[in-house]
Amino acid sequence: MTGEDFKSGQIILIDKPLTWTSFQAVNKLRWEIRQAFNIKKIKVGHAGTLDPLATGLLIICTGKMTKQINTFQGQDKTYTGTFVLGSTTPSYDLESEIDQTYPTNHISETLIHETAKKFLGTLSQLPPVFSALKKDGKRLYEYARAGEDVEVKPRMVEISEFKITKIDGHQLDFKVVCSKGTYIRSLAHDFGKALQSGAHLSVLRRTKIGDYDVKDAVSPIEFIASLSRQN
């Protein structure tokens, strides 16, 4: 593949590592492509943010393919991961410390599976305050980390599949297929409340965006290595 190929437009499937931001992944690939082919300027963008504590499929587009980003963002996404019952965090995941604990003795496996069914279909969901959504030009997480209160408006999302795939004490493994704009952290939080308890997200992996599968993705390091082999 040549520099002209990247400028004319490529789709790169990246398996985003833990702790990387989606922005870091885009910046790293842009820099490496520019260095490998001595390109002064090239458009590179991603089709759907993954939180730093999530791993999995990131669709990265280069050149003219960046015009397709909105199309990819609108496709259904599939996630797997783990909820932890009995406690909540302000960020709804492990970015922040546990702030409250709740009883779990009343929760049976039957109740867990029956409650999961209630989250299928069109739902009103409140995004986490610790999110990259913007309000008045600032990211919501900037307000949250500064300890400022901010009003977050609910949004309608569609969940076409939600299964609890394994129950191990307080840890619930799950699979979710959902629409654009769904926050799995919010789903964890709402699921805990629906169980008359609390819950937070401890593991998240995006496995599919539309027909694109993480099984076909490479790590950033593997992608960079492929560039050096071409030169």
Total structural domains within the chain: 2
Residue 144's pLDDT is 62
- Averaged pLDDT for residues 35-43: 93
154 and 48 both lie in a single domain: no
| Same domain for 195 and 118 | yes
Work out the mean pLDDT of the chain and round it to a whole number.
Answer: 92
Statement to judge: residues 218 and 110 lie in one domain: no
Q: With contact defined as beta carbons under 8 Å apart, do 131 and 183 qualify?
A: yes
194 and 128 within one domain = yes
Distance CA 60, CA 109 (A): 39
The string of pLDDT tens digits covering residues 8-24 is 999 999 999 999 999 99
pTM of the model: 0.92
Give SS3 for 156: strand
CATH at residue 133: 3.30.2350.10
Assess contact for 132 and 48: CB atoms under 8 A: no
pLDDT tens, residue by residue, 173-196: 999 999 999 999 999 999 999 999
Based on the fold, state whether residues 114 and 199 are members of the same structural domain: yes
- Selection from 74, 48, 50 nearest residue 61 by Cα: 48
Domain identity same for 198 and 85: yes
Tokens of 11: 């789709």
Q: Which band of pLDDT confidence, cut at 50, 70 and 90, is reported for residue 153?
A: confident
The answer on 92 and 164 residing in a single domain is yes
Same domain, 47 and 83: no
Residue 76 above 60 pLDDT? yes
Active site residue 51: yes
Question: What's the rounded Cα separation, in Å, for the pair 77 and 210?
Answer: 6
* Domain identity same for 219 and 183: no
Asked if the model's pLDDT at residue 231 lies above 60, the reply is no
- Which position among 15, 51, 93, 190 bears the catalytic label? 51
SS3 assignment for 86-129: CEECCCCCCCCCCCEECCCCCCCHHHHHHHHHCCCEEEEECCCC
Gap between the Cα atoms of 66 and 136, Å rounded: 26
Beta strand 10-16 with 44-46 is unpaired
Other C-beta atoms within 10 Å of 24: how many?
Answer: 14
Q: How would you class 71 by CB atoms within 10 Å of its CB: exposed for 0-12, middle for 13-18, buried for 19 or more?
A: exposed
Is the model's pLDDT at 103 over the cut of 70? yes
Mean pLDDT across the stretch 114-123? 97
SS3 label, residue 225: helix
Q: Give the residue-averaged pLDDT of 157-179.
A: 97
Structural domain for 95, as ranges = 77-209
- Give the C-alpha separation, 152 to 92, whole Å: 15
Q: In which region does residue 28 sit, left (phi positive, over 0), alpha (psi from -120 to 50) or beta (all else)?
A: alpha
109 & 70 share domain: no
Instruction: Determine the pLDDT at residue 8.
Output: 92
Do residues 50 and 131 share a domain? Answer: no
**C-alpha–C-alpha distance, residues 188 and 94, integer Å:** 12
pLDDT band at 1 (very low <50, low <70, confident <90, very high): confident
Answer yes or no: are the C-beta atoms of 96 and 89 closer than 8 Å: yes
Mean pLDDT confidence for 135-155: 70
Q: Are residues 59 and 85 in the same domain?
A: no
Q: How many CB atoms lie within 10 A of CB 211?
A: 7
